[in-house]
Amino acid sequence: MQQGLTRLSHWLGSLCRLIAGVALLALLSVTILDVGLRYLGRLTGGAVSLSVSGSVELVSYLLLFSLLAAMAASVEKSQVVVEALTHRMNDALKTRLHGFYLIGFAVMGFILCTGLIDSGMSALEHGEVTQDLRISMGPIYLFAAFLSALLSLRSLLHVLLSGVFGQEEETAHGE
């Protein structure tokens, strides 16, 4: 069972890395295209007046997706260990502390997910759209809720795999 949970977590982590990578590439593409078009307009003295419509809006939502996906993808590596505070702790206490933080991430992901689902359903019900591009906010909120749920799920999986409950994490994945 533990091996199956490990595989599930790695598969979800890979999915999150893919989503984060695609969102980040799209974010960079929108930014580079917008800056390039504005520079072209400046070079031509205004003869070519092009820009990416709603670029700030696109970048902000793509940043949201990339950050949520990256958090979910790296939840098991996201703990910054302050050596000055933990160097004298025994391994069991460090493991429990790590598990405590993972539970915190799971709760945070759950709270974000439920709030975003509520916002998404409300946005769909009331026809809420983005300011510039008039894109429906419902799918944006619901996709962010999905990514928050992945953060919560991966955190819970790693609580189970971390040894907090007496099990030791299998490291057959080679990381």
Q: How far apart are CA 158 and CA 143, in angstroms?
A: 23
Residue with tokens 């098991």: 76
Between 160 and 134, where is the model more confident? 134
**Whole-number pLDDT of residue 108:** 95
Mean pLDDT within 38-61? 89
**Whole-number pLDDT of residue 90:** 83
Which residues, at least 6 apart from 144, have a Cβ–Cβ distance to it below 8 Å? 64, 65, 68, 112, 116
Mean pLDDT within 76-101? 73
Q: pTM of the full predicted structure?
A: 0.84
Residues in the chain: 175
Q: Looking at the predicted structure, is the pLDDT value of residue 143 above 70?
A: yes
Mean pLDDT within 111-123? 98
**Whole-number pLDDT of residue 79:** 58
CA distances to 5, 112, 125, 156, 162 from 12, in Å = 10, 18, 30, 12, 17
In 3D space, the residue among 64, 38, 65, 59 whose CA is nearest the CA of residue 49 turns out to be 38
Q: Looking at the predicted structure, is the pLDDT value of residue 82 above 60?
A: no
**Whole-number pLDDT of residue 168:** 46
Contact 102, 157 (CB under 8 A): no
Helix, strand, or coil here: 170?
coil
Mean pLDDT within 19-32? 97
**Whole-number pLDDT of residue 52:** 86
Mean pLDDT within 80-108? 78
